[in-house]
Structure 1
Amino acid sequence: MAHHTGIYAVLIFLLLGLAGCRDQPEEVADEPTALDLRQGELILCSGQAFGEVQSGFSCRPAVRESFDLAMALLHSFEYDEAEKAFGRVIAEDPECAMAYWGAAMSLYHALWAPPGEAELEKGARILAAARELPATARERDYLEAVGWYFRDWETIDAKTRARDMSAKMREIHERYPEDTEAAIFYALTLNATADPSDKSYRNQREAGRILEALFPDQPNHPGIAHYIIHNYDNPVLAEKALPTARKYADIAPASAHAQHMPSHIFTRLGLWEESIAANLRSTEAAVCYAEGAGLEGHWDEELHGMDYLVYAYLQRGDNRHAEQQNEYLNTFTKLSPVNFKGAYTLAAIPARIALENRDWPAAAGLELSTMDFPWADYPWQRAILHFSRALGAIHLGEREAAEREIATLDSLHTRLAALDDPYQMNQVMIQIKSAQAWLGLARGQRAEALALMEEAATMEDNTAKHPVTPGEVLPARELLGDMLRVLGRPADALRAYEGSLATHPNRFNGLYGAATAADRLGDHDKARRYFAQLVSQTAGTDNQRPEIREAEAFLGRR
């Protein structure tokens, strides 16, 4: 019989000894200790729920509510708490094979960076223990599916293992058509194995079809809502996820990630006020979690939300609040855990503020965070700094400094090639071509500069945005529009800006560029529309940007 976590959340929390914003570890049984599972009190800020999950696996009846709570945590990517929750189930029912499956799934970060060696070794140990336990045929299939990811990890790359796991989940989905969890996890693996260069979004569409068919019967399931958003987090499909995005935060109000996740869709659609509200809730929940868990430093979920928050503030022209976030970031001395999300935010926030404002001296003078951070492990994120410095130096006429920054970008690209990371290599190459284009323009090489900038824009058009970022620090097609405007080609510039706005709607500089290009072209009606949109979306802020004054003056004249 299925059980629901959401309806009985308060009772569950009391039974499990949950607490919001506290850190009081408890003793658990020997098996979780032997498997090195996370232990201690579950940390749930405000004592709220994570949604409703129906599992129906064959664990003892006494632990089924606890198991379904662990599943709900897993579906909202609350991986540490999910692992602890599955560990509690194992402590109470050591023969619940699916609790071991859940603990292993807590280490399989489907849409994040792959687990490291220690986590892979741990996952393999957990699954080895599970294989000795009694289980139904269906449960054996689940264990085998996740086993494909942890099998032979020393010799088989993560992408191949993920595809093998997805193929097995498809078999389970087809073998047990009434098993909604199989369908949901299969949809997750489709997204995890999607080709970033596939602009037809074949995997995402198929996963979305599966999830949307399930949602009406399980409207409070966190995984269905969560994965719909991830699958539609692209310019083509984002509109389909908007109703779900506006609901997910209410399904899982205790999850910092659930509070943040809707902003992926709000960002895709240029809904800046909704994105700001979502990430203010997310960062608040993340701070609460860090305090409750006793983390040394700031949790990576807080930084992730901050990057999206700054991006949205800048599109509202709200430099004051963006700068406040940067000043707050500069007070950080330690991150927990140290990973790609933290690295990206540390590099991106100051770069965004400088580049979005075309503050070239600030861009040229950017430095890496003074925090003790292993930057050598994160060449893609470091490249953001050097790309910003290159653009700043070029616009200040400091060509030798720009050449040094481009040389550094080249070395970072080489480093990524050695790491066999084609996606990040491509991102850095877009930056290299963009910087070379603007340096060429500064040298008077107009045709070569424009060709390079068009190459960079086309490369970016053909590449999916990484979920870690709300958007490029400067979209390449928007930069192409800037170059065409400088070259006195307003019609081409307008096409470039409008092309960028089609995939980056309501960007401040995209709207301003389109308005000024249309004005120079003599299309004053279109200029009025873009200027009016710019003024409208920045209303209510303490806005000091000169572009707004220009827009208001234009509208006042006409």
Structure 2
Amino acid sequence: MKRMLFRCLWAVALVGGLVSCREKSGTPSAAAIRAINLNRGAPITCGIPNQKFGFSGFSTSCPASRKEAFNTAVSLLHSFEYEEAEKAFAALIDQEPGCAMAYWGVAMANYHPLWAPPTPTELAKGTQAITIAQRIPQKTPRETAYINALAQFYQDGTTTPHAVRCARFEQAMATLHATYPTDKEAAIFYALALNGAADPADKLFRRQRKAGAMLMALSLDAPNHPGIIHYIIHSYDYPELAALALPAAKKYAAIAPSSAHAQHMPSHIFVRLGLWAECVASNLDAAASARCYAESSGLKGHWDEELHALDYLTYAYLQQADNQRAKAQWQYLQTMREVQPANFKVAYAFAAIPARYVLENKLWTQAAHLKIPTANVAWHQFPWQKSMLHFARALGYAHIRQPDSAQQELRQLQAYQDTLMRQQDQYKATQVAIQLKTAQAWLLAAQGKPQEALQLMRQAADTEDGTQKHAVTPSEVLPARELLGDLLLQLNQPQQALAAYETSLVQHPNRLNGLYGAATAAAQTGNAAQAQRYYQRLLASADAPRSTRPELAVARRFLAGQQPRLQ
């Protein structure tokens, strides 16, 4: 890693020299442009032909003949089609090497505010591009403001934490927006910056609400702008706010039908609202579009967007009680040996899909023996993702009463938490800490220590309630508050269990286990009417035909007036 960073910094220094010697001409040298190592080629589209990515309307001082091409590139940015956006900006640079905003576009394509931090290669490329943009003299004051704002993110990129640089970009975009209040794109990119700098522990969603309000106002005059609609979804991608984004979720895929990400993104809101059929449809389209992209681009293996869609698809199928289709996604995943790029969301899908299947179905023996997938993932780089498999194994061993093996998994979870703390990744370290406490709680319960188990499980649930799920995932593998309900039910405390389930269902509406647990707990308290309501909701939500999930059989017996065998 240090050698790669040195090479990247050397390249940046080289470009600085190449640019400075040609500043008087105002056009970067061919050598400086080559040194950026731009992705090139025609942008790949899947779905409806003719590059349907929506229209942005971003004005620049670049030649008028390049206006449409620039706007297509910006529209690609707005749908997070970053590699294709870079290709489009690279084509502009080849045609108009003095167009400063084309280099700004390359730098934006390597930032991706709502995803993982740039890799060292991406960071170096973005730094080179924004440095060139700053040194080109032929640009307007507005363009200079855009370029300098993004430079705030890339400044000291190898020494300053990512979160700090995101905050600097947000502050710079706030100034830009205030300086050019009628510039629609400035407001849109400021909203994106607000979401990128949002604090995961802020349960009032201050930045997200501010971004959402700005975007909703803009949507009145530009209802089909891809950035406005896309970022509304991100701004309101929280249970408390998700209903506000439902109209945007229902139209985004049609605005940018050639974008795989645009096909997938509405499912973020569908998941938040427990709309499983809509989530399935969205991700079937997204996965098909991603496969088309992989084939069209000549990728070796699969594209990362396909695995991202499969994770959401598996989750929705499980909530519909459709084990057959959920398991088919896992089996398909097991055939994959090569995914490009093998990034954080690829690692997440490889870990989450099998963990979800076995844990949602309470297949404890299978959970205990889950294996690390053998695809081309550098697992040592992804301790949080890898922890999900060890979490599933720890729960599995606790339930089948193999405490020594469970303790071994707990030690591994502790090691991952320690690694993330050393990396100063507080969010992911907290997520692993929740898993660790949860697994410890269930092991204590198996060892006949109910009070200690409940204390730890409540701590885990309280901690999780104070954070938000990462945007890469449809949900935690198992919500901690729901697991608290499971534990209380097992310990014959149905009234408290019901309260835990109901609280969890506010954050995770229409989860199969949450609805079933609430109905079971209500029945055990003697509240038949409340149990009936939850069982009815369960059958309405988990509506897969010919499902063999035992929870549905219990619900049907109860509603038919028969006495269910409650667990």
TM-score category by the smaller chain? over 0.9
Counterpart of 2:122 in structure 1 is: 119
Superposition pairs of residues 158-177 of structure 1, within 5 angstroms: 158-177=162-181
CA distance in 2, matches of 1:81, 1:279: 21
> Contact 1:390/1:406 (CA < 8 Å) preserved in 2?
yes
> Residue 85 of structure 1: which of 80, 83, 88 is its match?
88
Counterpart of 2:34 in structure 1 is: 33
CA distance in 1, matches of 2:375, 2:52: 35
Deviations, residues 168-221 of structure 1 (Å, cap 9, x unaligned): 100110010110000000000001001100000000000001100100111111
Aligned Cα RMSD in Å? 1.1
> Residue 113 of structure 2: which of 110, 114, 117 is its match?
110
CA distance in 1, matches of 2:158, 2:497: 50
> Contact 1:31/1:94 (CA < 8 Å) preserved in 2?
no
Counterpart of 2:9 in structure 1 is: none
1:507 partnered with 2:546 = no
- Residue type of the partner of 1:280? L
1:389 partnered with 2:390 = no
Displacement of 1:32: 4.8
CA distance in 1, matches of 2:328, 2:443: 32
CA distance in 2, matches of 1:504, 1:35: 44
Superposition pairs of residues 298-309 of structure 1, within 5 angstroms: 298-309=302-313
Superposition pairs of residues 279-294 of structure 1, within 5 angstroms: 279-294=283-298
Displacement of 1:456: 0.2
Counterpart secondary structure, 2:560: helix
- Residue type of the partner of 1:85? A
1:202 partnered with 2:206 = yes
1:237 partnered with 2:241 = yes
Counterpart of 1:451 in structure 2 is: 455
Counterpart secondary structure, 1:131: helix
CA distance in 1, matches of 2:212, 2:223: 15
Counterpart of 1:365 in structure 2 is: 369
- Residue type of the partner of 2:416? L
Counterpart of 1:51 in structure 2 is: 54
CA distance in 1, matches of 2:90, 2:545: 48
Counterpart of 1:407 in structure 2 is: 411
CA distance in 2, matches of 1:99, 1:433: 49
Displacement of 1:370: 2.2
Counterpart of 1:142 in structure 2 is: 146
Counterpart of 2:231 in structure 1 is: 227
Q: TM-score, normalised by structure 1?
A: 0.94
Counterpart of 1:185 in structure 2 is: 189
Deviations, residues 387-419 of structure 1 (Å, cap 9, x unaligned): 100111111011111111111111111111111
CA distance in 2, matches of 1:95, 1:510: 58
CA distance in 1, matches of 2:552, 2:181: 56
Counterpart of 2:98 in structure 1 is: 95
Measured at CA, do residues 284 and 452 of structure 1 come closer, stay the same or move farther in structure 2, by a change above 3 Å?
same
CA distance in 2, matches of 1:542, 1:83: 47
Counterpart of 1:354 in structure 2 is: 358
Deviations, residues 56-105 of structure 1 (Å, cap 9, x unaligned): 11110111000000000000000000000011111111111111111110
- Residue type of the partner of 1:57? T
1:212 partnered with 2:216 = yes
- Tell me the number of residue pairs that the alignment of Structure 1 and Structure 2 aligns: 530
1:261 partnered with 2:265 = yes
Displacement of 1:437: 0.6
Measured at CA, do residues 32 and 542 of structure 1 come closer, stay the same or move farther in structure 2, by a change above 3 Å?
farther
Runs of 4+ more than 6 Å apart: none
Deviations, residues 12-38 of structure 1 (Å, cap 9, x unaligned): xxxxxxxxxxxxxxxxx8775342111
> Contact 1:212/1:228 (CA < 8 Å) preserved in 2?
yes
> Contact 1:316/1:541 (CA < 8 Å) preserved in 2?
no
CA distance in 2, matches of 1:74, 1:122: 16
Larger mean Cα displacement after TM superposition, 34-43 or 351-360: 34-43
- Residue type of the partner of 2:437? K
> Contact 1:32/1:87 (CA < 8 Å) preserved in 2?
no
1:489 partnered with 2:493 = yes
Counterpart secondary structure, 1:557: coil
- Residue type of the partner of 1:293? S
CA distance in 2, matches of 1:372, 1:30: 34
- Residue type of the partner of 1:110? P
> Contact 1:66/1:89 (CA < 8 Å) preserved in 2?
yes
> Contact 1:31/1:91 (CA < 8 Å) preserved in 2?
no
Counterpart secondary structure, 1:217: coil
Counterpart secondary structure, 2:40: coil
